[in-house]
A = this chain, B = another copy of it.
Amino acid sequence: MTEITGTGDPARSMALLWRESEPAPRGRGAAAGLSVDRVVTAGIALADTEGLGALSMRRLATDLGVGAMTVYTYVPGKAELVDLMVDAVLGEMADLYTPVSDDWRARLEAVARANWSLYERHPWLLHVAASGRPPLGPGVMAKYELELRAVDGSGLDEVAMDAVVTLVDGFVAGTARGVVEQAAAQQATGISEAEWWAATEPFVARVFDAEAYPTVARVGPIAGEAQQAAYDPRRAFEFGLTRLLDGIAVLVEGTNRS
């Protein structure tokens, strides 16, 4: 259920991403009204509502009202389809973020929260390995541009600007992943987070050796009580974001001082 971007032929992928050589529909295709865009949109809708696990070529074809193999007329394979879906969806970033402040820190925080919203809208993004070889289409470019602008004018050089944006994006992805994983576990088991914790905690208490793990014995219960679970991703997001921005501020101040 993990898809990897950038595994198709680069030339073909780039042509698709930028919608080069989309021919005027001829032949039977015109009747069905099918197109790359419609395929991609249907794929996104399916992944949004039922998860990336439900995105099979057969199911997608059924949703589109065509036979399974017909989808391959518009898209070389599932890998390229996912590339297109990712690029399209990252392009939505522009709707989620509008720069307001002239303070880099406020802008960067807004970028982080917009990314968080993106993962809320499209949780399946976290099941796609896109950081290594991102689909360099218009959506990715627009998102990257917008994020770079947030740190532009802070005094950081170009390499640091890129590194800061990458750091914030990665942080948000990591904490958002926590939300998605908990939701997936709940879906897979039918047991809520609280129920699971209630069922597991007694065993922890029984089997636990407070002498072997004294620090866990001290910290665990307090942290567990505060979160009502083994892990609270939303709390982790708020806590981590402040630390991260503090750390970036140290860099910015150091840069502007010298």
Contacts and interface: CB of A to CB of B under 8 A. Distances in A.
A235 B170 CA distance: 13
A7 interface: yes
Nearest to A133: B185
Given A131-B177, A167-B240, A250-B250, A185 B7 contact: yes
B1 A142 contact: no
Interface in A154-187: 158-159, 161-164, 166-167, 170-171, 173-175, 177-178, 180-182, 184-185
A189 B236 contact: no
Given A158-B223, A200-B10, A231 B136 contact: no
B141 A216 contact: yes
Given A170-B174, A185-B6, A152 B215 contact: yes
A223 B132 contact: no
A162 B18 contact: no
Nearest to A134: B230
Interface in A183-213: 184-185, 188-189, 193, 196, 199-200, 203-204, 207-208, 212-213
A184 B4 contact: yes
A59 interface: no
A93 to B, nearest CB: 13
Contacts of A233: 131
Given A161-B219, A207-B14, A132 B181 contact: yes
Interface string A137-159: 00001101100110010000011
Nearest to A226: B159
Contacts of A145: 212-216
A243 B156 CA distance: 14
Contacts of A200: 6, 10, 14, 133, 136
B133 A222 contact: no
A251 interface: yes
B11 A203 contact: yes
A148 B250 CA distance: 25
A246 interface: yes
B244 A243 contact: yes
Nearest to A79: B188
Contacts of A189: 6-7
